[in-house]
Amino acid sequence: MFPVARAALSLTARGVQRTAVRQAHRKHEPNFHDQYGNLVLLGGAAVFAAVWGYVFTGIGMEWGLSPVGRVTPKEWRE
């Protein structure tokens, strides 16, 4: 069983070495993500912040969410 396992490991190692050599000699051309990835990410973050900022200010939400001191009871009607 040992020779079979050793042969399998040898084949696996040889395949990994072949892949590493093939990737090392390949010219890496910048793709869309390399060129515009950070720009798209920053643009999305800006749109996200702008939309949620508009939503929070549009509904009149205040950052101090506690109603203590701002809510007074109404007069009782009979």
Q: What is the pLDDT of residues 27-73, one digit of tens each?
A: 678 888 888 899 999 999 999 999 998 887 877 666 666 767 777 77
Residue with tokens 């950052």: 63
Per the structure block, which two tokens stand in for 38? Answer: 């950070």
- The verdict on residue 65 lying in a domain is no
In a domain, 28, yes or no: yes
Domain annotation covers residue 70:
no
Cα–Cα distance measured from residue 24 to residue 9, given in angstroms and rounded to the nearest whole number: 22
Residue 34 structural domain: 1-49
Domains identified in the chain, total number: 1
Retrieve residue 32's tokens.
Answer: 């869309």
Does residue 64 lie in a domain region?
no
The CA-atom distances, in angstroms, between 45 and each of 54, 58, 64 are 14, 20, 25
The verdict on pTM exceeding 0.85 is: no
Residue with tokens 């205040």: 62
